[in-house]
Structure 1
Amino acid sequence: MTASAQTASAQTDFAHTKQLFHLPEGVIYLDGNSLGPLPLAAPIKMQTTMRDEWGEMLITGWNKAGWMAQPTRVGDRIARLIGAEDGHVVIGDTLSIKVYQALASALELNPDRKVILSDSGNFPTDLYMAEGLIKSLGQGHELRIVAPEEVEDAITEEVAVTLITEVDYRTGRLHDMKALTEKAHAVGALTIWDLAHSAGALPVDLAGVNADFAVGCTYKYLNGGPGAPAFIYVAPRHADKVEPALSGWLGHDAPFEFERSYRPGPGIERMRVGTPPVLALSALESALDIWDMTTMQAIREKSQALTALFIEEVETRCPMLTLASPRDAAKRGSQVSFRFPDGYAAMQALIARGVIGDFRAPDIMRFGFTPLYIDEGDVTRAAAILEEVMTTRAWDAPEYKARSRVT
């Protein structure tokens, strides 16, 4: 942890952090839960990396600029945001790859069980990766999917591993990580936590709850940029036992010995697969500098206040919308979702007026709240613009009903 992170007070100056992002004039950005905005320092950092490192050092940058150590160095910076031990988070590749790695490793650690337990609120890629892994293993594994509120009761002695996204991507519903992990361990199951909508949104305590594996992305709340690499956490008790299903060159114990057979590297190093995306990691590092100015508790307290204000404003102004998120702030992440039959068109009309959220099928209008760059004034203005869209039926226009590829 950096010195600035250690001294960051609970009373973060969010007015200052807001000035550290590029926010287009006239836009209220409530979609940082899907793609975080650009930190102003990121282009400068990338220019330095490209010109002074790639440009001047060429291939020697792997040693001179420390490129090869980036995945674990940046992993340690993310570790403090998710309550992980130093040296047990590595970054690189995509979230789908990291889900596959964690799931394959968990199944190998629990070979006598065949059930992978997930819930119907999980993000589809997690389920797709589980289906693909089951098919390729061909050992009779089962992906068992239950309703989110039924997960705890469904954790039985048949279960090898739970594959759960802590915050539901549609509604923001928050699972109880501690309780579910304890239940899993009590019956001999392992846990994988997907933190895609948790990392940077709310305090996470992986070490404290004794989690086994966790994965997450960095382009949402962590503001790493489109396609920014994902991370994986492996608990210390498993780190030297797991046998990576994706045995990439850089996960080898001595990659530059160029041995013909794979030997896993020590600890979290073995979960590396491909070449580090140096430029993307450099942009992410500039974003993480902002995180060193705050604490996750300060972020959580402010985001709960912002989401509560938005719910109050929208329900007062727009009775035709139905709250889809938990009303209790302690039971939701840092997003608020409302249901509306023509939610897609309504969101497009809203975006056309400078309030950017997003839509999730079949009828969810989704809004993310990040205190680093969203304040109370943004919330009340956004609610007022939403009221205008809804009460005038501005959404009921042909141009807002044509579906784009990305919703």
Structure 2
Amino acid sequence: MSTATAPDFATASAALDAADPLAACRELFYSPAPDVLSAYLDGNSLGRPLKATAENLPRFVEDAWGSRLIRGWDEKWMDEPLAVGDRLGEVVLGAAPGQAFVGDSTSVLLYKLIRAAVDANPGRDEIIVDRDNFPTDRFIVEGIAAERGATIRWVESRPSDGVRPADLAELLNERTAVVVLSHVAYRSGFLADAPAITALVHQAGALMLWDLCHSVGSVPLELDAWGVDLAVGCTYKYLNGGPGSPAFAYVNKALQGQLRQPIQGWMGAHDPFGMTDSYRPADNLRRFITGTPPILAMQPLKDMVELIGSVGMDAVREKSVKLTEYALELADALLVPLGAKVVSPRDPAERGSHITVDHPRFAEVTQKLWERGVIPDFRPPHGLRIGLSPLSTGFAELEHGVLSIRDVLLELS
């Protein structure tokens, strides 16, 4: 970590940008004029679009869609959810082919896989989830528990921290069906010990589902090596798929023949075009697909995955750690003296690619910053999140953003 004092931050930022091996990647992303947007610190909510996507989408409309029309399904599109899933597995998930697919929203995929996990073993009727998990995860679990007569066992995690293996020890038992946790906590940015927790869950005979929304594309994942059973993640954050881009799901190959997903649609059938009288699931991962895949919406995601593949996730993670370390240094020097409190882990091994700083007036601060073209994120009750997308965020941009937060705080004091 740099030891720059407040007046030296401009020099420190320039030096960090000059030494950044991924600095050239920033030019690959679309960015409006500085008077419209001067600092984007919300890459953990919605990633910037790639310039390549602005070129590739019209080409897709003209060629693949406009020229090939319905023939596209036979030529390529039927396999697109699985092909893009395989590429995700190779580049960012640490998964062998045939275990990941793209389609539906995060919420729908969570429902499919959690419900399938609960139904897989009728003798197990408890779901473990933490109270500070993202609302969608908790709401989906509550709905499934009501449908299936299951019991929810709540992990009382700490909002400024996250779930650790010891937090599960007293909850896991012979009735546990599935554990649902976020790999990176959406509030604090806490990075859970996925291998250790997954192993602990397996010792209890239960299934483990990881929500990867805040880690995929910013933290290296090794789902196969960790023995993960199930995972779901969105593609509009660090995978830059665009607003509402489809989510992805991972189903370990060892489980695919055992699980029956609850939303049976024609695309998941053994013979989709057979128009059969009754449903027979596909023999492979396709059984977890329900309806017509969102082919058009997958195209931006494909561009970003190729960019990540060209630089490698290790380089992405190295840049992420440097950005969050610098964000902490800036927050300590500029915001903490004004009454703010850092609520993210200090150890980079326990931190994803965003940090959260609390202050009673951050709701007001965020609104004023947005009006000035500085975009952080706010999460009630008092958390301002600084989300750092490694391939599109620079150190001087980060410095300008945190200085702007300080300036608005001073104005309101």
Q: State TM-score, norm by structure 1.
A: 0.90
Decide whether the 8 Å contact of 1:12 with 1:298 is kept in 2.
no
The separation in 1 between residues aligned to 2:20 and 2:109, in whole angstroms, is 32
CA separation in 1, counterparts of 2:283 and 2:248? 17
Aligned with 1:142 (options 151, 163, 176): 151
Q: How does 1:200-349 map to 2 (within 5 A)?
A: 200-318=217-335, 319=337, 320-349=339-368
Measure the CA separation in 2 of the matches of 1:29 and 1:264.
Answer: 44
Q: Which sits farther off after the overlay, 216-225 or 43-52?
A: 43-52
Name structure 1 gaps, 5 residues minimum.
1-10, 397-407
Q: Deviations over 1:162-221 (max 9, x none)?
A: 011111111111211111111111111110001000110101111111010000000111
Aligned to 2:53: 42
In the alignment, the residues of structure 2 paired with residue 299 and residue 341 of structure 1 have an alpha-carbon distance, to the nearest angstrom, of 33
Aligned partner of residue 324 in structure 2, secondary structure: helix
Shift of 1:73: 0.8
- 1:90–1:303 distance in 2 versus 1, CA, 3 Å: same
Distance 1:201 1:42 in 2: 20
Task: Name the structure 1 match of 2:4.
Answer: none
**Corresponding residue for 2:10?**
none
Q: Percent identity?
A: 38
How many matched pairs?
Answer: 381
Equivalent-residue separation in structure 1 for 2:271 and 2:53 (angstroms): 33
Deviation at residue 354 of structure 1 after TM alignment? 2.3
What is the one-letter code of the residue matched to 1:39?
Answer: L
Deviates more, 1:128-137 or 1:233-242: 128-137
Structure 2 match to 1:68: 78
1:85 is the counterpart of 2:85: no
- Contact map agreement 1:152 1:180 (CA 8 A) in 2: no
8 Å CA contact 2:232, 2:249 repeated in 1? yes
2:273 aligned counterpart, secondary structure? helix
Structure 1 vs Structure 2 CA RMSD: 1.5
Amino acid in structure 2 at the alignment position of 1:17: C
For 2:137, the equivalent position in structure 1 comes to: 126
Note if contact 1:353-1:385 (Cα within 8 Å) is conserved in structure 2. Answer: no
Deviates more, 1:203-212 or 1:283-292: 283-292
1:5 match: none
**SS of 1:391's equivalent?**
helix
CA contact (8 A) 1:118 1:151 kept: no
TM-score normalized by structure 2? 0.89
How far residue 49 of structure 1 moved from its aligned partner, in angstroms, is 1.4
Q: How far apart are residue 338 of structure 1 and its match?
A: 0.6
Give structure 1 regions of 4+ aligned residues with deviation exceeding 6 angstroms.
Answer: none
**CA apart distance, 1:36:** 0.6
Cα distance in 1 for residues equivalent to 2:131 and 2:32: 36
Gaps (5+ residues) in structure 2? 1-18, 158-162
3-state DSSP of counterpart to 1:56: coil
Q: Give the partner amino acid of 1:147.
A: E
**Contact kept? 2:189, 2:355, Cα under 8 Å:** yes
Report the 3-state secondary structure (helix = DSSP H, G, I; strand = E; otherwise coil) of the residue aligned with 2:69: helix
> In structure 2, what is the equivalent of residue 166 of structure 1?
183
- The alignment partner of 2:384 has SS state of strand
Partners of 1:119 and 1:151 within 8 A in 2: no
**1:12 to partner: Cα distance:** 8.3
Q: Is the 8 A contact 2:331 2:342 kept in 1?
A: no
- What is the one-letter code of the residue matched to 1:85? A
CA offsets per residue over residues 349-403 of structure 1, 9 Å max, x none?
222232211111111101111110112212222222222111222xx7xxxxxxx
Matched, 1:190 2:207: yes
Alignment match, 1:103: 114
Q: For residue 405 of structure 2, what is the aligned residue in structure 1?
A: 386
Does the 8 A contact of 1:166 with 1:197 survive in 2? yes
Instruction: Quickly say closer, same or farther: Cα 1:152–1:298, change in 2 above 3 A.
Output: farther
1:152 Cα offset (Å): 4.3
1:21 counterpart letter in structure 2: F
Does 2:189 match 1:181?
Answer: no
Query: Is the partner of 2:138 in helix, strand or coil?
Result: helix
In structure 2, distance between residues paired with 1:98 and 1:113: 21
1:215 and 1:231 in contact (8 A); partners too: yes
User: Quick check: 2:103–2:246 contact (8 Å CA) kept in 1?
Assistant: yes
Alignment-derived partner of residue 22 in structure 1:
30
Matched to 1:75, the amino acid is G
Q: What is the rounded CA distance, in whole Å, between the counterparts of 2:341 and 2:136 in structure 1? A: 27
Q: For residue 84 of structure 2, what is the amino acid of its counterpart?
A: V
Check the 8 A contact 2:264/2:290 in 1, yes or no.
yes
**Deviation for aligned residue 1:96:** 0.6
Report how far residue 109 of structure 1 moved.
2.1
Q: Retained in 2: the 8 A contact 1:35–1:226?
A: yes
Q: Which amino acid letter does the alignment assign opposite residue 154 of structure 2?
A: I
